[in-house]
Structure 1
Amino acid sequence: MLNYPIDLIYSSDLGRAIQTAEIVGQKIGVEVKQTPALREMGFGAWEGLLIEEIKKDHLDTYTTWRNEPHLVNIEGGETLHIIKERVDNFIKEINEKYDNKHILLVSHSVTVRVMLLSFLISGMENIYRIKQDNTALNMVEFRDYGPVVLKMNDTSHIKNNEKINNSALE
């Protein structure tokens, strides 16, 4: 990742993303700006639960989450459409503010997948069609006609034995 020019770093304001962003920022001398716009999906009543617990206590909603995630409204949580609106607004804002800058965004699995689906003009029902390993690099270039996804789920910067996958969607 350090082979690419980075002018700005924005990170989710949640712990793991901040930690990752700070490591990169320190190596390249770029300050990290935190924003709630890049937070992971709020899972409401599911926060902190294991999959087995969710299946036991929220089986109907979990089944819908696995089969039709775009229709799920987890009690006290966010929907995929709310996340899409949040990240679309943020991307629009930074595109207008930082034209022709190389910006690193550090976020979380569901949020990144929603962002990529938005860039690809694809519906939220396709969220499981995008794989996102932890620390995966995605590269998007914004052109006059819209975003172009250049890389997705690139983990070539980590060794195979270091890969960890504990995504909220797995």
Structure 2
Amino acid sequence: MQKIYLVRHGQSEWNYQRKVQGQQDILLTELGKIQAKKLGSRLKNEEIDLIYSSDLKRAYETATIIGNELDKKVNKLECFREIAFGKWEGKTIEYLNETSEKEHDIWLRQPHKFNMEGAETLYQLQKRAMLGVNKVIDENPNKNILIVSHGATLKTIILGLLDIDIKYYNKLTLGNVSLSIVEFRDYNRVLKLLNDTNHLREE
């Protein structure tokens, strides 16, 4: 049974500072590197054949750390980048609440209706992400594939793989270095695991 493993990158410097990242190329924190190594250790028990990653540093570094644990190389793809947030990138959540209250409220409550100049919509994000996912799946039949990406991107991928309407986007949450798994069963695609971070628990 083919499985798609979906991993959000470890804690980045802007995650820590509560800034909107979008497609800005931000590095992992030291904690983020530790988180990635813990997940890599956990994934040794899985039969992962291939690793793909966003080309942004916080995701690629997470994927590389995991790849070192699994002795697998990482394939970078631009299509797995985070959503482009335009003028919001680099701004804190507090700043958005003060300066873009209406747009930010739409993003939080009805993100599928979010349409800000200079930013991607969820539909645009999902289209490019799913083109990448479907290409990877078609090129690697019956292979277990790990994709390391970003919160918004991964949520649109999960919904796309399960054929669930994008309007349910804000019903999902994905923490840093969380693991989600979609299984390709004979009769259906099934969400086997969502937003699991048990590997971060102290031993």
Task: Report the TM-score, using the length of structure 1 for normalisation.
Answer: 0.88
Q: What is the CA–CA distance in structure 1 between the aligned matches of 2:116 and 2:55, rounded to whole Å?
A: 22
Q: What is the CA–CA distance in structure 2 between the aligned matches of 1:5 and 1:86, rounded to whole Å?
A: 27
| Correspondent of 1:69 among 90, 103, 111 | 111
Structure 1 residues 50 and 90, CA gap change in structure 2 (3 angstroms): same
Residue by residue over 1:92-127, the C-alpha shift from the partner in whole angstroms, topping out at 9 and shown as x without a partner, is: 111110001111100011111111111232222211
1:152 correspondence with 2:191: no
AA at the equivalent of 2:109: N
Residue by residue over 1:17-43, the C-alpha shift from the partner in whole angstroms, topping out at 9 and shown as x without a partner, is: 111100111111111011111111111
Task: Report the TM-score, using the length of structure 2 for normalisation.
Answer: 0.75
Superposition RMSD in Å: 1.6
Aligned to 1:19: 61
CA contact (8 A) 2:53 2:148 kept: yes
Q: What is the CA–CA distance in structure 2 between the aligned matches of 1:158 and 1:94, rounded to whole Å?
A: 29
Aligned to 2:76: 34
Aligned to 1:79: 121
Q: Compare 152-161 and 117-126 and name the one that shifted more.
A: 152-161
Aligned to 2:170: 128
Q: Shift of the alpha carbon at 1:160?
A: 5.8
**Higher RCO (CA-CA < 8 Å; seq separation 6+):** 2
1:139 correspondence with 2:181: yes
Equivalent position SS for 2:199: coil
Q: What is the CA–CA distance in structure 2 between the aligned matches of 1:48 and 1:160, rounded to whole Å?
A: 32
Equivalent position SS for 1:89: helix
Aligned to 1:164: none
CA contact (8 A) 2:109 2:170 kept: no
Aligned to 1:165: none
Structure 1 runs of 4+ with >6 Å offset? none
AA at the equivalent of 2:189: P
Structure 1 residues 32 and 66, CA gap change in structure 2 (3 angstroms): same
Q: Shift of the alpha carbon at 1:75?
A: 2.2
Equivalent position SS for 2:118: coil
Q: What is the CA–CA distance in structure 2 between the aligned matches of 1:160 and 1:76, rounded to whole Å?
A: 42
AA at the equivalent of 2:86: G
1:48 correspondence with 2:90: yes
Q: How many residues align?
A: 161
Seq. identity, %? 37
CA contact (8 A) 2:49 2:144 kept: yes
CA contact (8 A) 1:10 1:35 kept: yes
